[in-house]
Amino acid sequence: MEAAYQKIVRLESQLHPEGVQRAPLWQFVLWLGFFGAVLLWGVYAMFLCWFKGLNQTNMNDYYGFALWIWADLGVIAVGGGAFFTGLLRYVIGKDPLKYIINYAVLIGFICYSSALLILAIDIGQPLRGWFIFWHANVHSMLTEVAFCLSCYFGVLCIEYIPLVLENRKLDEIPFFHHTAHNFHEVMAIFAATGAFLSFFHQGSLGGVAGVLFGRPFAYRPEFYIWPTTFFLFTWSAAACGPCFTILVTKITEAITRKKLVKDNVVELLAKIAGWMLLTYSIAKIADTLYWGFVMLPKHGLQITDFYTNASLIYTKLGGVPWILLIEILCSVIPALILVSKKGRQSKPALVVAVLLGSMCALINRWVMVLQVMAAPIMTFDQFALYFPSWQELATTILPVAYGVILISLSHRYLPVFPQERELNPV
């Protein structure tokens, strides 16, 4: 038995990237086993939703969109680091980012495949998922989202394939070696295509909320034909996506106990994310002030109408609507830290900043999905409450387990971090 195990270990180690050290195989199997169990729990809940229907959820007439759509918009926003980092690396020419672009693409691939999985559960009848393409409603922004999202996921697959082909054993096969090389030669085209597609599907997701005339909490003024939320969603994804990439990189470094990316690379990406967050914060505050003190009074409403007599998750504490305050602080504070050289070079401050930056996008999507539906639109309405069922929670956690497993496998067998061997000599 011991000899057989040692043989498996020896064969498995030949799949590792050259010149790096990995955790013992038994530890890796235990790690995968834990998250595999969580994954199976989510898969069980997913099949319950498919076979028994959406009565497995706590969605109702008030909450036609619920936890899944928040998770969907959230992972799409934080996965925006892939398209923005690709744009910076391949189109704008920020060459140092080539040392983190693989990881950004991997995170983006996980986020977007998770978003498609959540949508497949949410429609309740996945066999009819192709209807949105074949019977496209050309007047709906969600049609644009569906097409752009699907196409961009295809682009992410193309960007991820060369990394898979660079596995130590696959790379020994001349066909795979040359295929990966040729993919790299034309990657700028796919990066530019991905940025174009992302601009429209991120924006259209914001546009869906901004055109809801009957939902004054979300409705926004138009700039040309697009509501301001169109631009704010794209802007926030470009700002918060790189923060999430850095955050996951730091978590990976902590778990593996290795430095995987040089500080100058992280600081460059953090600096760009900081300036994007700062400009986004200014635009977001201006948009909120215009909505609250110009637009709403024109329609006979006050900003306090949306924070009075609300449930605890939205109500005012000490006279301040806390969720609005937190949303703004989660963009302003990390922006001020990241635009400062001293802030970027301080490891604790950097981690706090990218954590808040990632939360900024998630809180914004929470507000623009759930609070929009919770806020009463009729004089006799009350703030509607909703708590997800365990099936909704399990299927929302499912992508997290899937992401951890795919990152673990990719890190163990693929050269995700080009600087790892230099930073951690064996």
Q: How does pLDDT run across 259-317, given as a tens digit for each residue? A: 999 999 999 999 999 999 999 999 999 999 999 899 989 988 888 777 766 655 555 55
Residue 382 clears pLDDT 80, i.e. is over it: no
70 or 141: which carries more pLDDT confidence? 70
Average pLDDT over residues 137-156: 83
Q: How far apart are CA 192 and CA 206, in angstroms?
A: 21
pLDDT at 403: 96
Domains and their CATH numbers in the chain: 32-51+67-420 (1.20.1630.10)
Residue 319 clears pLDDT 60, i.e. is over it: no
Average pLDDT over residues 157-184: 90
pLDDT tens for 4-39 read 888 888 888 889 998 898 999 999 999 999 999 999
Q: Is this prediction's pTM over 0.85? A: yes
Among residues 200, 195, 183, the alpha carbon closest in space to that of 241 is found at 195
Average pLDDT over residues 55-61: 87
406 or 329: which carries more pLDDT confidence? 406
How many C-beta atoms surround the C-beta of residue 169 within 10 A? 11
pLDDT tens for 239-261 read 999 999 999 999 999 999 999 99
Average pLDDT over residues 212-225: 85
Q: How far apart are CA 328 and CA 250, in angstroms?
A: 24
DSSP 266: H
Q: How far apart are CA 21 and CA 9, in angstroms?
A: 13
pLDDT at 309: 61
36 or 195: which carries more pLDDT confidence? 36
311 or 214: which carries more pLDDT confidence? 214
Helix (H) or strand (E) holding 233: helix 228-256
For residue 143 the two structure tokens come to 């049609």
Average pLDDT over residues 130-150: 83
Q: Name the most confidently modeled range: 2-16, 115-129, 207-221, 409-423.
A: 409-423
309 or 67: which carries more pLDDT confidence? 67
pLDDT at 301: 85
What distance lies between CA 16 and its chain's CA centroid? 28
pLDDT at 4: 84
Runs of H (alpha helix) within 53-173: 67-78, 81-86, 101-122, 131-134, 141-165
Residue with tokens 């006050």: 302
How many C-beta atoms surround the C-beta of residue 365 within 10 A? 26
Residue 232's identity, in one-letter code, is L
How many C-beta atoms surround the C-beta of residue 212 within 10 A? 17
Among residues 355, 374, 217, 187, the alpha carbon closest in space to that of 296 is found at 217
Residue 185: pLDDT band (50, 70, 90) is confident
The pairing of strands 222-223 and 316-317 is unpaired
